[in-house]
Amino acid sequence: VEPANTVIESEQFDWRSADTETTSVFTGRVVVTATNLRLSCDRLEIIALRKADPTATIGKIEGFKSMVATGNVRIIQGDREAACGRAEVLPGDNKIILTGQPVVVDRSVNWTWTGDELEMLRGERQIRGKNARFTGPPIKDLGVDLDKKLAPANEPAPATPPPAQP
Amino acid sequence: MPPFSRLLLLALLAAGALSASTTRLATDKPIINFRLPDFTPEGHRSWLVRGSEARYAAEGLVDLSELNLTIFTGDADDKVETLILSPSARIRLGDRLVSGEDSIRIINDRFEASGSQWTYDHAAKRVSITRNVRVVLHTQLKDILQ
């Protein structure tokens, strides 16, 4: 997938600079589009690391330290989709924590996860959770059906070989 | 020095001081190609405000056309950190607050932001945009759900 810039649109935007990091808060119909990703929510707070120069007003952002989306959070990335009340993306820890009645759907295998909290490990396609519930596609009945009539055998049963002579 | 000239000198000095304190700027005339730098306590350039035209709006308030605000790293490197562009802006010189109703563009090597109805507070290191916000971060956000 062609890497794309991260574009964030919203009604309000507030950016503050501290010595080692900058905090930006987007509020009001927030939409983030990035590489193969779309995230929408009511409020988004991004804490980005700055280079060591504290005097620069809006410094160099080294990378995301954290990104917290709250309020009607919807995330769509490739074949996976998540909906929840709060999503905390922690790039440094390579994980995302979903709370607030999270639901994750993987359309490639038609699986759904729900729980009190779901923790997704980035790049490993692994999901852990508290009180997690996993729903997959129906599995064929693996039990023995006793009522089923056996079909008549067309050929005689194979003769048993004579016992070997000593 | 003869007493008279000393007296004259004192009179001139007093007159000069008097006129300086009573001089009123002609505030209805615009300043063309307005430039106003600001420096850190250590003497490094902090910002440079430029505008094609500046008008004195009130005590400590200047209205600018075609604002070009350059924010420097504020250290010996004297590098440009960020540019803020807007067709019109008002500057509150006392607390270095710049604001505008018009569109704004904030350009930095890591992001570009645009919108309208905005304020920039240099002392608090804070930017606020309250309408039509669009921020492009030149940072990848990958594999959130994968």
Degrees to nearest 5, angle at CA B98 with B96 and B99: 150
Span A133-154, average pLDDT: 72
Mutate to test the interface with A, among B108, B140, B144 (most CBs of A within 10 A): B144
CA distance A130 to A78: 25
CB A6 within 8 A of CB A34: yes
Lowest pLDDT segment from A82-86, A129-133, A153-157, B1-5: B1-5
Checking if the pLDDT of A115 tops 70, the result is yes
Is A11 touching B (CB cutoff 8 A)?
yes
Mutate to test the interface with B, among A42, A44, A57 (most CBs of B within 10 A): A57
| Amino acid at the residue B12 | L
The closest alpha carbon to B104, from B124, B76, B82, belongs to B82
Residue with tokens 């916000």: B133
Is A33 touching B (CB cutoff 8 A)?
no
Q: What pLDDT, on the 0 to 100 scale, is given for residue B77?
A: 84
The residue ranking higher by pLDDT, B100 or A62, is B100
Q: What pLDDT, on the 0 to 100 scale, is given for residue B123?
A: 87
* Chain centre to alpha carbon of residue B55: 13
CA distance A14 to B127: 6
CA distance B88 to B102: 6
Q: How many CB atoms lie within 10 A of CB A89?
A: 23
Degrees to nearest 5, angle at CA B9 with B7 and B14: 95
CA distance A76 to B145: 8
What digits encode the pLDDT tens for the residues A103-112? 999 888 888 9
CA distance A119 to A102: 10
Fold of B3-137: lipopolysaccharide transport protein A fold (2.60.450)
CB B77 within 8 A of CB B91: no
Rg (CA), chain B: 22
Tell me the nearest-neighbour CA distance from B20 into chain A, angstroms. Answer: 37
CB A71 within 8 A of CB A87: no
What count of CB pairs under 8 Å joins A to B? 132
What digits encode the pLDDT tens for the residues A36-78? 889 999 999 998 876 545 554 444 444 678 899 999 999 998 8
Residue with tokens 């890591």: B110
CA distance B4 to A116: 94
Token digits for B69?
């605000």
SS3 B58: strand
Is the CB of A15 less than 8 angstroms away from the CB of B140? no
Which of A11, A39, A56 is the closest to B73 by Cβ? Answer: A56
Domain boundaries, chain B: 3-137
Number of DSSP helices (H) and strands (E) in chain B, helices first:
1, 7
Checking if the pLDDT of B20 tops 60, the result is no
Q: What pLDDT, on the 0 to 100 scale, is given for residue A5?
A: 79
Lowest pLDDT segment from A34-38, A119-123, B120-124: A119-123
